[in-house]
Structure 1
């Protein structure tokens, strides 16, 4: 090789992406998901302890296994166990250990041993507290002057961090309805965080996040578009826990990263959850009571009413995810672009909040009109 070419090669950046970790994580996740689906297919529906098709918020027609979280956690544990010589092994293990309380409680719920929302939120709090105790990291700043002064007091900072962690973990659970929606949201968030970590020189965090992303892909190939398996409470809470506390660790080790950039990565789960809380309070209903008025559910019902008909749920479900995902991805892309521009990231967050609320309000206004129009069309067809 000529000297100038050799110098050019040496000057090129080297990305030591952990392909062995990613391949192992993907393979174990996909294989475990497949085995769970096969096992579930052999179980008689009557013997199941829970039937989610009867739930108010159900978006699928047939009983479907909710053990996707088990596949994800097994994949990550196997990867960690076989990668003990890596530099970031300790961080990876501590992160997984901290997720065990919320995983166990979520898995019990998925298996039909119902745990109340209060118990699941308590388990998420315990998992967050374990991360703080093991890693010694929490939210240090928000970019809001008054709040940042309060965060100088460690007890308040820890409590605030736990509040955010529990909220985001629960938020991922709320969007686990449509085929692919929670999975693609988790995948995009992991990749966005991995990109920011790489830009900040945090290769350990990047590698862990890429490993999580690979496990999510192994699950997604069975979740989208046909919905053969869902994350369930264990998967949704665990993935929310892992991603949020990795974002906290990135902010702790790279203070120049904008906190609003981190919030943009989790914009969709946060916005959907806050809207659900406000909606239920306005209607005088318990905050924990499920409904069918989430953004993605309105999109699916709109597709059924206007284009597909109510008997085309198998098509409307994944199609609604495709319509919703651009709204999910856009804030994450902006977060990566303005990861170190606090002013731009803050303005982007406000802009996306306005767009989200305006779009949802418009959908709620149009939905009754579409329903009446569809009913009139059905009546005319029947009388002709």
Structure 2
């Protein structure tokens, strides 16, 4: 059954809802006012990512009804995404202590893992490895890390949006090449929802995503990577490769700050993308460079891994090495002046 009208409908609905949320944010004084830790210079409303959350959550039962998702997958993505989005929404409107956010994030991750079956056996350097209960624990930690790194990386106009669109469409392309067209629908739907928001978020942004949107996208992308691993073990590595820029920048920054003994939960602007945006004096060049790296480097490597032409672990190392060099060049995690 043809269901392609869903994509333009999702795009249009997210676009219109973001417009309404922008009006609400202005009326409710939900404004990000620039300070010493900011990467922007103009007061801008925030919380627009809620449109992505609402529209994609609305689409999930439809995908289940038309059997593009199993109902257990609908439960996984709906419950996990909704809990994280609510936590982010409350944090956008006030402040939730870090320990309570963390408890909520792990609870959401566990919910999603229970419904999708946890971490499947993975292929490590050609060997199938089933980590059993330890794998499920690591999968929960992985989901919470992807959630938070996405929050960390949502710091300049359009960056988190173009990353989510690329990762989703890269995953959809991988499914299409493999002839698994029924798996295309979820990532393509999320990509269309983010694209509707990106119209308002593209540099110079008229509204920011906020914690509700960035946290939701982080954990949903992480969960889709685990879902892909159940479809085919090498697909998990492809999704991690597609997420490479965010994973490398956020992880390297965190490690270097930890080594200096800094409080990693405090706001900062020492990510590579933040140093790069200050060097260029604008957000747009950085967002465009990230898009180019995704398309011309990470996409080909990820597809080679997904098609079985390159070992997943080897492909991950090949993909991440130049990203690490680039992150060091742009001083990821260096002490701010």
Same fold per superposition (TM over 0.5)? yes
* 1:76–1:93 Cα change, 3 Å: farther
- Aligned-pair CA distance for 1:342: 6.6
Partner of 2:227: 249
Alignment of 1:257-336 (within 5 A): 257-304=234-281, 316-329=282-295, 330-336=297-303
Partner of 2:58: 78
Point out the structure with max Rg over C-alpha: 1
Alignment of 1:174-253 (within 5 A): 174-253=152-231
Q: In the alignment, is residue 60 of structure 1 matched against residue 40 of structure 2? A: yes
* 1:123–1:205 Cα change, 3 Å: farther
Alignment of 1:50-199 (within 5 A): 51-54=32-35, 56=37, 58-80=38-60, 85-88=65-68, 90=71, 91-111=73-93, 113-143=94-124, 149=129, 151-153=130-132, 155-199=133-177
CA distance in 1, matches of 2:177, 2:289: 30
- Aligned-pair CA distance for 1:84: 6.2
The two structures have a TM-score, normalised by structure 1, of 0.78
Q: In the alignment, is residue 346 of structure 1 matched against residue 313 of structure 2? A: yes
Matched-pair contact (CA < 8 Å) for 2:228–2:235: no
> What SS does the corresponding residue of 2:307 show, helix, strand or coil?
coil
- Aligned-pair CA distance for 1:27: 1.5
Deviations 1:102-158 (A, max 9, x none): 1111111112x2123333333222111111222324242151589x65x442x2111
The two structures have a TM-score, normalised by structure 2, of 0.88
> What SS does the corresponding residue of 2:34 show, helix, strand or coil?
helix
Matched-pair contact (CA < 8 Å) for 1:24–1:79: no
Consecutive unaligned residues of structure 2, counting only runs of 5 or more, are none
Partner of 1:25: 10
Partner of 1:377: none
Alignment of 1:37-56 (within 5 A): 37-43=22-28, 45=29, 48=30, 51-54=32-35, 56=37
* 1:18–1:137 Cα change, 3 Å: farther
Consecutive unaligned residues of structure 1, counting only runs of 5 or more, are 1-15, 305-315, 372-384
Aligned residues: 332
Q: In the alignment, is residue 34 of structure 1 matched against residue 14 of structure 2? A: no
CA distance in 2, matches of 1:348, 1:85: 36
> What SS does the corresponding residue of 1:53 show, helix, strand or coil?
coil
Cα RMSD over matched residues?
A: 2.7
Shifted more, 215-224 versus 265-274: the winner is 265-274
